[in-house]
Every structure is written in structure tokens, then in C-alpha cells.
Structure 1
Amino acid sequence: MALTFHGAGAPRLAEQVLTTIEREEAHATVLAVGTWLTPSIADRVAGAGHDLGNHTMHHLDISAMNAHDADREIRECAARLHHLTGSIGSWFRPSASAHATPLVRALATRAGYPTCLSYDVDSLDYTDPGAAAITSNILHAVQPGSIVSLHLGHPDTLTALPRVLDGLRRRGLNAVTVSQLLAD
């Protein structure tokens, strides 16, 4: 199974989330908002063996945009990723939507992303329901092959992670990158 994180929020909190994941010998996929992505964050994520991908430049509702604006959101973040890492990343996740519209899928494909990444487990951590609720939301829905949606910018996500990772391990599940998950 894969833990995916919407990349935004306080860099210090992102660092703590990544450290927690690594301490548990797990990996994650970070879908970065371009305006949030700094050289140090890009180096930190990629250097630790996590996936780094595109979550649009400004994290606006891409499904509500016209083709020109949506294309710009995808391509600007791709350019930022390429500038910082030498790659546009393997994955694109639309902002403000669990699934890409046909237009967004077509634009992402043209920008170099053959797959628009979705998820089957929503932690709802962005609603700040508390660490216990985040843990429960994940562990009650996760199964082998699941892709879980989380957010780096919420303190309760950090608090929940050790319990989530322990619960996954007890079920025989390992948190891997999306690239690892889909390669199997």
C-alpha cells in the first residue's frame, strides 16, 4: 500500500512527517504544490527515496479551470520539479479533486504524466478531525494495494503516523512509494 501526501504546509512539519516515516522504515509519495516546493524540500524528499510528483502550481480547483489555465497549473509545477530535481516526477494528482476530469487527464498526458494519481482511502486529515480519527479512517479502509491520501500541513497527521504505520505492519502491509506499489 502507498501513503501519498499533498505537499504543502509548514516545511518543519513536512520534515517531521518524513522523519517519522523513515524511522519506521517506510516510504511515501509526495505530490508537491509548486509554490510550496523549495530546493531543500525537493532534495529531502528525493534524497530519502520517496516519490515526488506534481499537485499543480497553486493548488486551485483545476477541474473548474478552462483548458489554458489548467494546462498552465500542470506545466508550471512540472517545470519547477524539473528545475529542482531534473525530472517532472512520475505522478500528477489534480488539486481539489479526487479524480481527474477528461480534460485534466489529457492535459496531464501532454505535459508528460501518463497517469493521474487518485486514491481509494481518504484520511480526511485536512478537516483536522484529530489523530485518532485519522488513524481510524485509514486503518478501517486500507487493504493491500490501497493508495491513501494524506496532507503534510496538518499536525494531527504527524501525531497519527506512528499508530497508522504500526497498524499497517500488524496487518502485514508495508508503506511503499506509488512507483514501488505499481511496479509489483
Structure 2
Amino acid sequence: MVRVTSTLRRDLLRAVAGGALAAGCGTEHAARPLAPAAPTSPSAEPPAGPRAYPGHPAQITHGPRSRPQVALTFHGQGDPALARALLTTAERHGARLTVLAVGTWLDEHPDLARRILDGGHDLGNHTQRHIGINTLAEADARREITDCAERLTRLTGSIGTWFRPSRAPTASPLVTRLARAAGYPHVLSYDVDSLDHTRPGAAAVTREVLAGVRNGSVVSLHFGYPDTVAALPDVLTELGRRGLRAVTTTELLS
């Protein structure tokens, strides 16, 4: 049984009242002018940038199977109230997430870049406009990567820790090469797909994640869906019962 706390219910009602939700991996957004960076605390530590992980392939689908850790990775776009609810829920459970942000989403909600980092989460690049990057010509694909990297740099001082292609679980050889040239040694894929973007209901999201997750798993989830917000407490509770810690992808591979 999926439980929705009063706090989550309040956040969901606010989100719905704010307008229609933006789909996680099914909606394209037109590019908008870059919003000014949100102010950062002078005491904030500089965000980490990409690093290479020797022994791991160019496209990473999972971490070590020998340690009881998993990475919950979120495609970052959609209603900001839902994003904040997911981040808060994770933090209350002692979990840390990996957020792959869409550049146009950062344009609309620049404060969320700092919010993600201040919560101890990883922040990365999920292209600028969230279109099918593997189908684009080389120059257009390069722009999708570098435009989002520019947003991240202006908002946080770093291009982020990870790159994930849009509208595809893995990157083509061309996109992998372009990502490396932009400063991302690895493409971050996943071995468990929650299918939350299909809106199957919170119970189905929970079942899908828990059926596939194991040591080292990288799970694909999305901001922007009430089902995911409602499912996350039960997912985290069951992971804890199994002795699995939800950590950033950086920690998973370190």
C-alpha cells in the first residue's frame, strides 16, 4: 500500500493548482533566454565536476555489484513543487539523488540548481531542449550538450558531474564522443527503468523499481510526476529494509 503523507499531499495539490505538469521524457520545451543565476552562499563549497572512472566503460549502466548501494537518478524537468517534494523526501530518509537537468528547465527555475547541490545531490546535464539527441546532426547534438553545460556553469560554476542523453537510454557513438569533448568522460545510463513517465500509478512505480533493483543499480526516475512523489517514500523504506543505501552516482562509483 502506497502512503501519501500530509506534506506530500500538500505539495501535490500546490503543483496541480499551479498548472499542467510538464512530462519528464515525453515533452519538448522551447529554448528560452538564460535566466540570471540564483545567489549562492559565500560558504558554499565549489560543486564537483565530471571525473573519469578507470575500469568503467564510456557508458555506465550500473556501479559495483559488491556494495549495498544504489543510485536513484532523476531526469530534471517538470513542475518545481514536485521536484522540491522529491528532494525533501529523499533528504528526510537520508538518501541522496542524482539529477540530470534539462537546460530549458534551468532557464525557468534557476534556483533549483543550487537547491539540488545544497541538498548534497549530484547535478548533471540532460541536454538543453530534451529532444532526440541521437537523431540530430553533429552540430545540433553538440549544441544540445554544450548549451546545457553553459547553463550549469553559469548557475553553479561547474558543467555538472554527469551527462545523460535525452529521449534514449544510451547514447550513440557520435553523442558519446561529443559528450567527452564537452568534458563528460562517461555517459550515464541505467539498468532499472521505473517507467514512471508512463503514469502507471504510484504502486506500479514502486513495484517496477523494487523488482529490478540490486547492489550497484542505477535507477531511472523523473521529476514532474505525482506518481513518483507518492512512490518515493515506499521505495526508500523498502531499500532500507533490504540494506541498500540510496547514494549519489559519484558515491556509487567511488
Unaligned runs of 5+ in 2: 1-69
1:34 to 2:76 alignment:
no
- Give CA deviations for 1:22-56 in whole Å, capped at 9, x if unaligned: 01010000000000013310110011110000000
What is the correspondence of 1:13-162 to structure 2 with a 5 Å cutoff? 13-37=82-106, 38-162=109-233
Measure, in 2, the Cα distance between the counterparts of 1:182 and 1:39: 28
Unaligned runs of 5+ in 1: none
Which protein has the bigger helix share? 1
Measure, in 2, the Cα distance between the counterparts of 1:174 and 1:134: 19
- Give CA deviations for 1:110-146 in whole Å, capped at 9, x if unaligned: 0000010000000000000000000000001000100
TM superposition shift of 1:90: 1.3
Q: Partner of 1:7 in structure 2?
A: 76
Measure, in 2, the Cα distance between the counterparts of 1:11 and 1:84: 17
Normalising by structure 2, what TM-score?
0.72
Query: Aligned-residue CA RMSD in angstroms?
Result: 0.5
Percent identity among equivalent residues? 61
Max Rg structure = 2
Q: Number of aligned pairs?
A: 183
Q: 4+ runs of 1 displaced by more than 2 Å?
A: none
Measure, in 1, the Cα distance between the counterparts of 2:185 and 2:249: 14
Measure, in 1, the Cα distance between the counterparts of 2:161 and 2:240: 26
SS of aligned partner of 1:44:
helix
* Counterpart AA for 2:113: A
